[in-house]
């Protein structure tokens, strides 16, 4: 086992060091962020990292957690949306859609899916709430 390069060392919130490094191990050469605790007798990297830290005395940076992943838009296949509706709900939606401009009707009728990041999602959401109430609208528009 060999450490080829260390890119950063930071202090984790639970008293571990997070070491971003390029190293060769049992599975070949890899770059990874390794959680290191000197008291961990089970990690095959512990002796190697302990020696590297003693030899190099690196600056230990404060731990900065990664940015959370942005929330993904809801995407409901059109067939799933319609399968969720009852006959009465489908009729109510059809009546509402027939009151919309041609372009809007065509978008809803030809869509493969309904997405929360689409310009017409607020219309679908407000129509579902207005027709069926918030609870049922949430069920109809839930991520599958």
- The pair of structure tokens assigned to 76 is 């409901």
pLDDT digits (tens, 9 = 90+) for 70-100: 989 999 999 999 999 999 999 999 999 999 9
Q: Which of 137, 70, 90, 144 is nearest to 113 (CA)?
A: 144
130 pLDDT more than 90: yes
* pLDDT over 70 percentage in the chain: 99
Q: Give the mean pLDDT of 98-104.
A: 96
Distance, in Å, from the CA atom of 30 to the CA atom of 40, rounded to the nearest integer, reads: 21
CA nearest to 48, candidates 28, 21, 68, 16: 21
Averaged over 109-113, what is the pLDDT? Answer: 96
Say if residue 56's pLDDT is above 80: yes
**Over residues 117-121, mean pLDDT:** 95
For residue 134, name the pLDDT band (cuts at 50, 70, 90). very high
Interatomic CA distance for residues 58 and 50, integer angstroms? 12
Q: In the beta sheet, which residues pair with residue 131?
A: none
């Amino acid at each position: 086992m060999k450490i080829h390069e260390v890119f950063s060392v930071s202090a984790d919130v639970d008293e571990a060091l997070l070491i971003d490094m390029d190293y060769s191990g049992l599975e070949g050469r890899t770059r990874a962020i390794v959680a290191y605790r000197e008291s961990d007798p089970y990690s095959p990297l512990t002796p190697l990292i302990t020696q590297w830290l003693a030899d190099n005395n690196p600056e230990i940076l404060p731990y900065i957690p990664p940015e959370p992943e942005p929330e993904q838009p809801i995407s409901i296949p059109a067939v799933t949306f319609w399968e969720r509706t009852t006959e009465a709900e489908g009729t109510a939606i059809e009546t509402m859609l027939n009151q919309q401009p041609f372009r809007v009707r065509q978008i809803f009728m030809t869509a493969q899916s309904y997405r929360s990041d689409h310009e017409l999602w607020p219309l679908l959401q407000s129509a579902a709430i207005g027709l069926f109430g918030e609870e049922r609208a949430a069920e109809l528009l839930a991520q599958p």
